Every structure is written in C-alpha cells, then in structure tokens.
Amino acid sequence: MKRVTLLASLILSISAKSMSEDLAVPFKLHRGFLVIVKCSIGELPDLSCIVDTGVTETVVDPSVVHRLSLETRPDHAVFLTQEATVDAVSLPFLKLGPIRTGSLAGIVTDLSSLMAKFGIRPDVLIGMDVLRRTNFVIDYKARQLSFSAVPPLVHSTSLVHDLRFALVESTIMGKRVLLQVDTGFPGLLLYGGWRGQPALAVKWENQVQSVAHTLVAASLPSEVRIGNWHTQRLELAVISGPPDLFGFDGLIGPQALNAHRIAFDFENNLLSWD
C-alpha cells in the first residue's frame, strides 16, 4: 500500500501517572536547528532521536528493527517531492518523556546518510504521529523539550487543523501561501510555481539540506508575514516540484522565524514563538 508521506493514524495513551513525570526532556541542539533527544522503543532504552515535525510517520533505522526482531513489509513513501521504497513496521511502543504510545505503525529506512549530511546518525526520527497528540514547547536556549502548559509567547498564528502536518498561513512577497512548520529544516522553502503562480526570478543557486533530502534550490531575499510576525528580508529557497503535492506550498523552520522558543498548541490550533 502506498503511503502519502510517512503517515500513521493512531491514538496515543498518556496515563495520568506518566504525565506527572518527565514533563521536560533535555535535548542536544545540532547545527543550530536539529533537536536530538533520547527515547525508548519496546525494551530498547536511550535511543538517539531527532524530533521532526516535518515527518508525519515515525522512522526507525534498520538496526532498531534488527535488535527488536521485528518483521517488516515492503511499502512506499514520499520524502519532500521524491518517492522512495521503504519497509513498513509495527513498533511495540515508543516512550518520549510523558508520551507512551501503544503499538505504533512506522517505516524503516537507513538513516546512515545523515552522518554525511550532519555528522550524526540517529536511531529514530520522531514524527507528527507521536508529537501532535500533546502540546509541547521547544526551548532552544534552555535545550529543553517541555510537555507542560504552553506559555504566552510574543508571536503567534493559527495552526491549520490537519492531523498529518503542522501548517500555517503566510504572506510571501504579497502572495498568500500555506507552509509546513518543519523542525528538521533550517530555513524557508517554496515549491516552484506554487499554487499555479509562475516561477520566481531568482538570483543564485545553493544547496538546501533537510533531514529528508539534499536539493539544489534557487534563492532570493523576500518579505514574509506570519501572524503578527513580519520581516522585510528573509532568504527564500525555491525548488522545482509539484506545488500541490500535499496541499501546501513549502516549508519553514523555527530558525527562519528566529525562534528561541516555539510552542505547538494542538488543543487550541495555535503556533507561538519568541
């Protein structure tokens, strides 16, 4: 069965007892934007994980599957704009801070390529199938991932209600666009010719790296508005690809928002940062 970008549908069980424990999880910050934490899958503790809101279904390295003696089956997934062959797997459970899932559908792919890109090799990419079941705050200064009440922050905008993606409306160079908030991506990216608009006149090309892919993109400075946040000049990368592949126009990372803290409040469909 073909997946539409790394998606699993499940209900997480978060017990009252576990919610009283581990409400703040420390993390390491790599390359200024990658959030690396520890989690457990089944009986395997202290796995190295990247918290990535740009991934819809949790991804595990084959080494984890081997250590847990799990069976897999062939499947397909879409990474950014490219389709790839993967293996599907049913994980016994995943624990991250106060979150403890039941049986979790995930995919298996070799994460060793991240060593060449970023100098790290995680065991797991924790995606929105896990993250969106409770509110959380990423504090980049304190290096802390919190699952307690979301504090009031300076900037805010509505999250578009979607179980698969964290989406926000934005205005870029006077045009309204829909962006995926991707903690595994450092900048601002639009698919070429978004929503039927002609491709932009660009100034130069550079390499764009995310957890999912490395692509060559054309870049130019742009005026951007999101909620009550505004900047006159933010570097924008544009890549060729289907503009409506998933119903949104591009990606934005917390680093592009100059966020020291960013809060995902799924209960009230609110994204906030300062």
The larger pLDDT score, comparing residue 251 to residue 198, is at 251
Q: Which of 247, 252, 245 is nearest to 81 (CA)?
A: 245
Sorted by sequence, the CB contacts under 8 Å of residue 21 that are 6+ apart come out as 98
Mean pLDDT of 155-162: 94
- How high is the pLDDT of residue 15? 35
- Taking only the tens place, the pLDDT of each residue in 132-153 is 989 999 999 999 999 988 999 9
- How far is 270 from 158, CA to CA, in rounded Å? 5
Q: What is the pLDDT of residue 180?
A: 94
Question: Which residue did the predictor score with more confidence, 120 or 156?
Answer: 156
* Pair 55, 86: CB distance under 8 Å: no
Sequence-distant (6+) residues with CB within 8 A of 46 are 38, 40
Considering the domain architecture, whether residues 110 and 141 belong to the same structural domain is answered as: yes
- Domain membership of residue 211 (yes or no) is yes
Question: Domain tally for the chain?
Answer: 2
Entry pTM: 0.83
**CATH number of residue 77's parent domain:** 2.40.70.10
Q: What is the H or E stretch that residue 17 is in?
A: helix 16-19
Residue 151 neighbours by CB under 8 Å, 6+ apart: 137, 261, 263
Residues 160, 140 share a domain? no
Q: What is the mean pLDDT of residues 223-250?
A: 81
203 has pLDDT over 50: no
Tell me: do 23 and 124 sit in the same domain.
yes
Separation between Cα atoms, residue 22 and residue 144, nearest integer Å: 11
- The answer to whether 6 and 82 are in contact (CB under 8 A) is no
- Domain enclosing residue 47, as ranges: 16-146
User: Residue 9 falls within a domain, yes or no?
Assistant: no
83 and 177 assigned to the same domain: no
* Between 4 and 45, the higher pLDDT residue: 45
